[in-house]
Amino acid sequence: MQLDELVRKLGLRVCCAEGSLGRDVRGGYVGDLLSDVMANSREGDIWITRQVHQNIVAVASLKDLAGIILIQGSEPTPDTAAKAGAEGIPILVTDLPAFEIVGRIYQLIHS
Amino acid sequence: MAEPLYFEKSFDVEGGSFQNAGNVSGQIKGILKDLGVSTDIVRRVAIICYESEINIVSYAKRGTITLTVTDEAVKIETKDEGPGIADIELAMKEGYSTASAAVREMGFGAGMGLANMKKYADHLIITSELGVGTYVRMMVMNFQKILHPDLPSITL
């Protein structure tokens, strides 16, 4: 499933890197510990987190993740959004808590 | 017999500079991809590099990360000017960390860094001197090339 389909079906707010929404989402990973995400996420995963600082961009870029979803209406800091825009890493925002958004994404990907 | 050297470069890492954390790892990943190193090795080196970089940023005044690529392995060496590690065996335990509250708040300092480095490197050596700094050497071996030495080097 492409990222833009996920954005449309879940009403996600696109903060940056709109040009990269054609990426394929192959799976997902949830976590706020960067070492955990670094070690265990896989290429093409959508990453669901509450971390908003700019180091999330480096992790997503190093692991070739499809994009990042920030939960509960969390906005990326301005330097995070700028860096993600420059590196073409989409950051998306949902007002839902992690459990809710993950359940919906799982259903969409595996239906 | 000395194996042919394909690439060697050192990168400076500034302590405390969280805004730049990951830049060196990104550069190293790009170099390995350009050299045609296999995806699995690039993935493992990216993980150990990133953890090394975060350790220098989190604990040290400054440090260097040196990348060496040969036919048989990718070697990552890190050397920092920092507090040193009092008990390396304890520091290696997953979950043990001396990170500050501020560092933990960012999602680092969960005591997974050294454990990840050990998990994703084939060899890891740490030496440390309190008040001076820490040296880490990690190797990710290209076993396919070791087992089949006549494979072209580009498959490294």
Domain parsing of chain A, residue ranges: 3-110
Q: How far is A25 from chain B (nearest CA, A)?
A: 18
The runs of H, that is alpha helices, within chain A are: 3-10, 34-40, 55-62, 78-87, 98-110
pLDDT tens string B6-47 = 899 999 999 999 999 999 999 999 999 999 899 999 999 999
Q: Which residue(s) pair with A16 in the sheet?
A: A91
CB within 8 Å of chain A, chain B residues 123-142 = none
Q: Is A41 exposed, middle or buried (0-12, 13-18, 19+ CB in 10 A)?
A: buried
Fold of B9-147: Heat Shock Protein 90 (3.30.565)
Q: Which residues from chain B sit within 8 angstroms of residue A54, using beta carbons?
A: 18-19
Q: A92-111: per-residue pLDDT in tens?
A: 999 999 999 999 999 999 88
- Fold of the domain built from segment(s) A3-110: 3.40.1390
State the nearest Cα–Cα gap between B54 and chain A, in angstroms: 10
Could you state, in order of their start, the residue ranges of all structural domains in chain B? 9-147
**Average model confidence (pLDDT) for chain A?**
96
As for the ipTM of the complex, it is 0.89
Beta carbon pairs, A and B, within 8 Å: 62
pLDDT (average), residues B57-86: 96
**Cross-strand partners of B81:** B62, B133
Whether residue B25 and residue A62 make contact (CB cut-off 8 A), yes or no, is yes
**Which of A35, A53, A57 lies nearest to residue B51, judging by beta carbons?**
A35
